[in-house]
Amino acid sequence: MPLSYSQLQTYQRCPKQYEFAVVKKISRSISAGESFGSSIHNTLRRFGELEMAIDGSGKREKPLQLFTEESTHDMETELTLTTLLTLWRECFIAHGYASKVEMDQKFAQGERALAKFFDWWNEKKRTVVCIEKSFKFPVAGTKDILAGRFDRIERNEEGLHIIDFKSSNPRPQESLDTDLQLSVYALASKTIWPDPIAKLTLLFVTEEGCIEHSTTRSTSQLTDALTNIRLVAAHMDAKDFTATPSIEKCRHCPYRSICPASAI
Ligand code: SF4
């Protein structure tokens, strides 16, 4: 079985959480944050798939239509804000919220955030390489295969622009330089496309606007990332599930009610 990047991420967060989720397969309820994040991701995936279906190269064949209440444009062929918000209604997951009031607030927040996404997307013509594409590549020096998925890749004059959607608050720019997820994307991209990687971006889709935090990866940074992946995989193989509690991590952990090591 390939090692998925999300499992690697869970193990890095806390080996005990990985043991609960992946080894013991203890079911848990979805949190409000996960529900909201999945709803946004699913909406953007379907919008991107429509974008590609209109023209395999991602070019829009028809002019964009402005949103009006009377709009009756064919959703199959028109990439409009109306279409995007219709997809949001269809993709919204109504689970994990403490009350209907909270759910309605998050639904409205999602609408506002996606309207900002539409503005960002509509700024220029985009050439889409792939949407929600799975990847697998062997981790050099191990028997492991690492699997994951790209959210969206565009191509520009400089090369590939790898974009990962985030529905959370923006992280500091400095944290991107050591972000393992972005390094994994860079490593995976090199196994699939010969194109250079122009930039790696976390795109924070928020009510205030879409915030692009971008970075690149040097050869030595990718070598360091592979070393890091090998180290984590070795600990996983050795079944080292030592808890690494902290108030911040345990506060968001779905297993804190059953974990003897929880910090809260
Ligand atoms: S509650 Fe804390 S220590 Fe326990 S699994 Fe979750 S993150 Fe790890």
Sketch the domain layout of the chain as residue ranges: 3-27+127-251, 32-121
Q: Is 12 in the pocket of ligand 1 (CB under 6 A)?
A: no
Atom of ligand 1 nearest to the CA of 16: 5
Over residues 159-187, the pLDDT tens digits come to: 999 999 999 988 888 888 889 999 999 99
Nearest by Cα to 148 from 1, 262, 3: 3
The CATH number of 3-27+127-251 is 3.90.320.10
Residue 31: DSSP 8-state: P
**Whole-number Cα distances in Å, 186 to 73, 92, 131, 193:** 38, 30, 16, 10
Give which of 262, 240, 243, 242 is closest to 252, Cα–Cα.
Answer: 262
Residue 29 binned pLDDT confidence (cut-offs 50, 70, 90): confident
- What are 200-256's pLDDT values in tens digits? 999 999 999 999 999 999 999 999 999 999 999 999 999 999 999 999 999 989 999
Mean pLDDT of 65-71: 42
Pairing of strands 3-4, 159-166: unpaired
Which residues fall within 8 angstroms of residue 237, CB to CB, at 6 or more apart?
A: none
Amino acid found at 104:
D
Task: Establish whether residue 259 lines the binding site of ligand 1, counting it when its CB lies within 6 angstroms of any ligand atom.
Answer: yes
From the alpha carbon of 243, which atom of ligand 1 is closest? 3
Looking at the DSSP assignment, which residues form a beta bridge with residue 152? 131, 163
Give whole-number Cα distances, 204 to 22, 73, 163, 164, 209, in Å: 28, 29, 10, 9, 8
C-alpha 14 to ligand 1 mean position (Å): 6
CA of 125 relative to ligand 1 center, distance in Å: 45
Q: How far apart are CA 2 and CA 168, in angstroms?
A: 28
Nearest CA-CA partner of 37 in 131, 150, 169: 169
Contact call for residues 7 and 18 (beta carbons, < 8 A): yes
